[in-house]
Amino acid sequence: MASQTKAQAGPLLPRLFPVDSIRVLQAQFFDNSANPPKQGQSQFALKLFAWTEGTIDFQKPHWWRVVQLLEPSKVLTWATSKREAGQMTADQFGLYQMAYEGAARMIEDGSRAWMGHIGSPPGKHYFVGQFVLVRWEGEDTLRAVVFNGDGNILLDGFQKPRKRGRIAQANAPKLVALYDPDAALQHQADIQEANRRGVTLAALLQERRAT
């Protein structure tokens, strides 16, 4: 019987939206020290959620992905192999090189730093040009950059999440940050309040300015 070569399946999930179309991005930082990571998982991970248009419902993100945080050298090694195979441009590789060098300096300064791929199952379908750089300076001080093609998103307002009940859930994120450059969430809340009170948005805003 003749053997058949099975073609590699393509990614099941889409790339992250372009930066200029992202209205809100939430990042959740996880420390899995208490639970040994499963195969293919790392001790630290960044979970990303994105919304582009319409109502922003935190229960229904338009896009989400878990990014495993790795030693920067592992991500650079992958990028190097892609570059050598002609599957990554010089400019794209330059972003990985820049991020790696930045991570190396952070580690020299005493911080912990990782890089991680944005990808899709099955397997390890990593999207070229989409990755993260994360710096953990202390227990509650985290900064991250989401590289996304020609643009990037800086996340530097990480805070501890609100506890639900007296005991934090075992699977709860350690820190959370929000990217909302045009105050989309506040605008959405204003519209909801105006509708609830039966007034126009302009009237509601005028009332606030007068008080």
Q: What pLDDT digit, counting tens, does each position of 116-145 carry?
A: 999 998 778 999 999 999 999 877 899 999
Q: What percent of the chain has pLDDT over 90?
A: 64
Q: What percent of the chain has pLDDT over 70?
A: 90
pLDDT (0 to 100) of residue 5: 39
Task: Single out the residue of 5, 44, 52, 4 nearest to residue 28, CA to CA.
Answer: 44
Q: Which residues have a Cβ under 8 Å from the Cβ of 193 and sit 6 or more positions away?
A: 204
Span of 5-19, 80-94, 141-155 with lowest mean pLDDT: 5-19
Mean of pLDDT values over 191-205: 85
Tell me the whole-structure pTM to 2 decimals. 0.87
Q: Which residues have a Cβ under 8 Å from the Cβ of 154 and sit 6 or more positions away?
A: 143, 144, 145, 179
Task: Tell me: pLDDT of 166 over 50.
Answer: no
73-83 pLDDT per residue, tens = 999 999 999 99
**Cβ atoms of 69 and 83 closer than 8 Å:** no
pLDDT (0 to 100) of residue 208: 83
Span of 8-12, 83-87, 202-206 with lowest mean pLDDT: 8-12
Task: Tell me: pLDDT of 211 over 50.
Answer: yes
d(CA 135, CA 15): 23
pLDDT band at 14, cuts 50/70/90?
very high
Distances (CA, A) of 19 to 79, 156, 170, 180: 22, 17, 32, 12
Task: Tell me: pLDDT of 3 over 90.
Answer: no
pLDDT (0 to 100) of residue 125: 92
Mean of pLDDT values over 175-199: 90
The half-sphere exposure of 69 on its side-chain side, counting CA atoms within 13 A, is 23
pLDDT (0 to 100) of residue 21: 96
The half-sphere exposure of 59 on its side-chain side, counting CA atoms within 13 A, is 0
Under DSSP, the state recorded for 70 is B
The alpha helices in 44-197, defined as continuous H runs, are 72-84, 90-108, 184-197
